[in-house]
Chain A
Amino acid sequence: MKKIVIGICIILLLPCLGWAEELTGRDIALKMDAVDTSQDGKRTAIMVINRKGQKLIRKMQSFAKKYGPDERGLIKFIEPPDVRGIMYLTWSYEDVERDDDMWIFIPAESLVRRISGGGKKGSFMRSDFANEDIEKKEVDDDEHRLLRSEKFSGVDCYVVERINKKQKDTNYLKRIVWVGKDTWLPMKVEYYNKRGKHFKTAIYGGFKEIKGIWTVTKIMTKTHRKGSKTLMQYDNVDYNIGLSDSLFEQSNLKR
């Protein structure tokens, strides 16, 4: 009897073993989503926007903390000097239907205001990143399809196609992502506009293991025809530092 049960189990499990390599696009997205296991974290982002020889530098410090499936984030701007101290506080929810809550603090006016999270399609601070590239996305916001496996700059990668389910919220027809099989981090993303033209490319780099969590510390995004590129660099990355809840309260902004 025992042998029969084991036998049945083996028979049932065999196909699973056989398909272990055969991940679906969504499985890959779930794996990628699971890379960051931290409860909270902080980092300093430096963004250098280079457009036809002219440069803009933006520097900001950000904090994030997880609340179950939801997340709260705080961004403090450091550079340029005339905007130092401006802060954004966001509470984002896993529930796709629920809009994020967002507050801004402007020190020169000494006011805190709740703002709507619209304008996802807009560019992020005149850089080559769109707001939708920066925001945290839920796995099921997109339709994922595994296209193939191939090497990208010497690393075995899955090539996954992602299509946003809400096409009116996005500027992209699709994105094609190269995912490193070793780290489950993106290596490269190709962006296609609504007419199906590949118009923007992001290359990921500076992979570092920080407190056991693999992290991207450099992203270079180029918009081909505009002749502009943006380098985003993350410094002072740290995880699980025990950030207090009060940091993410709007009452904290106006101190």
Chain B
Amino acid sequence: MGGSMAMEVMLDTGKKDGIKDIKFLNQMETLQNQIDKHPLTWKTSSVIDTIKKMRRAMHENRMEYYTLPETSAQASGYLFLYETSGGEELDKQVSFNYDITRLNVRTKSLSTKDVRTFMSDIDRFVKENLDPSIKVEYAGIMSWVRAMSDYVAQGQKRCFILAFSAIACMMIIVLRSFKLGLISMIPNVFPVLIALGLMGFLGVYMSAGLMIMAPVIIGVAVDDTIHFFMRYRREFNRTGTYEEALKATLSTVGRPIMFTTITLVAGFSVFGLSDVYTTVQFGLLASFAFIWALLADFFLAPAMMLLFKPLGPERQVTMVN
């Protein structure tokens, strides 16, 4: 079964005793019936059920009386009868002034995607069928899940864009070349894409804890990239050819870049021993991404250099020996 989820639909009539109005009760009943019909719903409950139960009880428990009465006065009567026989329960269903009431909806535990469809289905029905004077709001675990996933997605997007642009600016300034700067961002972003891809492949859900992963990966990966590109630029100036510069670069900074990566992977893998699930995920995914950052610096970056030739035409440099 995997647990249950609850949602509260709050209906505000905006006026004192508004709930006792039979027109409102009828509308609320159609909403409740609609939600009951939804395939994801387990169970609903509201003051409507209470009124129906009271009415049935007052009519020798005959099932044909398990309906709303016809007039507001009758509905008030049943609500009042319920009120006189223990207001504590009533307090859980309707506000003190009888202006706000709630509809409790239970479902099995749903994925974020199902929560979204479920809530938008309900919201659409509310907008199309309920009197606009009734204010409807959603609360409970389900709307919490929806809001949370919205925040996570939004935050993830914003973090990534910010980190990307800040680091790209930095690279352009440091390498003193717009073209080279942008090319250097590819091995930075590549490991993030690989890590996100792995998450999708393994079915790991994005959570608040994993939100910081993308900017952290970019931030760390840039370290090796900056070494690589700075060196490459200098070697190109010295040798004048892309191929020669590449050889010289890999033979000098190649080793330190590899060692820093091994250190980083070892360091972040320690998170894998944590008891906090998100931290384990973070540590392992980040380690995985750093390996790919190294591979990108060693293979992707050289390939792009040779392909795009971002530092202008090769020139003959007289070897002064």
A-side residues, CB < 8 A to B, are: 51, 54, 56, 77, 80, 82-83, 86, 88, 104, 106-109, 111, 113, 115, 118-119, 121-127, 131
Does B278 interact with chain A (Cβ within 8 Å)?
Answer: no
**Binary contact track B83-121/A, C-beta < 8 Å → 1, others 0:** 111111111000011000000000000000000000000
Bound-complex Cα distance A27 to B203 (A): 76
Does B310 interact with chain A (Cβ within 8 Å)?
Answer: no
Q: Name, among A51, A108, A119, A122, the residue most crowded by chain B CB atoms within 10 Å (CB to CB).
A: A108
B59 to chain A: closest residue by CB:
A111
- Secondary structure class of chain B's binding surface, majority of residues: helix
Does B74 interact with chain A (Cβ within 8 Å)?
Answer: yes
Q: Would you give 20 A-B contacts (Cβ < 8 Å), ordered by A?
A: A51-B96, A54-B96, A82-B76, A83-B76, A83-B77, A83-B80, A86-B81, A88-B84, A104-B81, A107-B77, A109-B58, A113-B58, A118-B85, A119-B85, A122-B86, A122-B89, A125-B87, A126-B90, A127-B87, A131-B86
Given known contacts A119-B86, A123-B88, A108 and B77 CB-to-CB distance under 8 angstroms: yes
A122 to chain B: closest residue by CB:
B86
Query: Shortest Cβ distance from A117 into chain B, in angstroms?
Result: 9
Cβ–Cβ contact A122 & B81, under 8 A: no
Please give, as numbers and ranges, the residues of chain A lying within 8 Å of B20 by CB-CB distance: 82
Please give, as numbers and ranges, the residues of chain B lying within 8 Å of A121 by CB-CB distance: 86
Cβ–Cβ contact A111 & B58, under 8 A: yes
Given known contacts A54-B96, A126-B96, A108 and B71 CB-to-CB distance under 8 angstroms: yes
Cβ–Cβ contact B87 & A106, under 8 A: no
Please give, as numbers and ranges, the residues of chain B lying within 8 Å of A108 by CB-CB distance: 69, 71, 73-74, 76-77
Given known contacts A106-B58, A108-B73, A126 and B81 CB-to-CB distance under 8 angstroms: no
Does B45 interact with chain A (Cβ within 8 Å)?
Answer: no
Cβ–Cβ contact B69 & A109, under 8 A: yes
Pick the 9 closest A-B CB pairs, nearest first.
A122-B86, A126-B87, A108-B73, A82-B76, A123-B87, A106-B77, A119-B86, A108-B74, A83-B80
Please give, as numbers and ranges, the residues of chain B lying within 8 Å of A125 by CB-CB distance: 83-84, 87
Cβ–Cβ contact A82 & B87, under 8 A: no
A56 contact from B72, B86, B88, B96, Cβ within 8 A: B96
Given known contacts A82-B17, A86-B80, A124 and B87 CB-to-CB distance under 8 angstroms: yes
Please give, as numbers and ranges, the residues of chain B lying within 8 Å of A113 by CB-CB distance: 58
Tally chain B residues at the interface, Cβ within 8 Å: 25
Given known contacts A106-B58, A126-B96, A82 and B73 CB-to-CB distance under 8 angstroms: yes
Please give, as numbers and ranges, the residues of chain B lying within 8 Å of A126 by CB-CB distance: 83, 87, 90-91, 96
Query: Shortest Cβ distance from A73 into chain B, in angstroms?
Result: 14
B97 contact from A54, A107, A122, A127, Cβ within 8 A: A54
A102 to chain B: closest residue by CB:
B85
Cβ–Cβ contact B87 & A122, under 8 A: yes
Bound-complex Cα distance A108 to B20 (A): 13
B71 to chain A: closest residue by CB:
A108
Please give, as numbers and ranges, the residues of chain B lying within 8 Å of A107 by CB-CB distance: 77
Bound-complex Cα distance A56 to B83 (A): 12
A86 contact from B59, B77, B88, Cβ within 8 A: B77
Please give, as numbers and ranges, the residues of chain B lying within 8 Å of A111 by CB-CB distance: 58-59
Query: Shortest Cβ distance from B96 into chain A, in angstroms?
Result: 5
Bound-complex Cα distance A123 to B78 (A): 17
Bound-complex Cα distance A81 to B206 (A): 56
Query: Shortest Cβ distance from A99 into chain B, in angstroms?
Result: 15
Please give, as numbers and ranges, the residues of chain A lying within 8 Å of B81 by CB-CB distance: 86, 104, 106
A80 contact from B17, B74, B87, B88, Cβ within 8 A: B17
Please give, as numbers and ranges, the residues of chain A lying within 8 Å of B73 by CB-CB distance: 82, 108
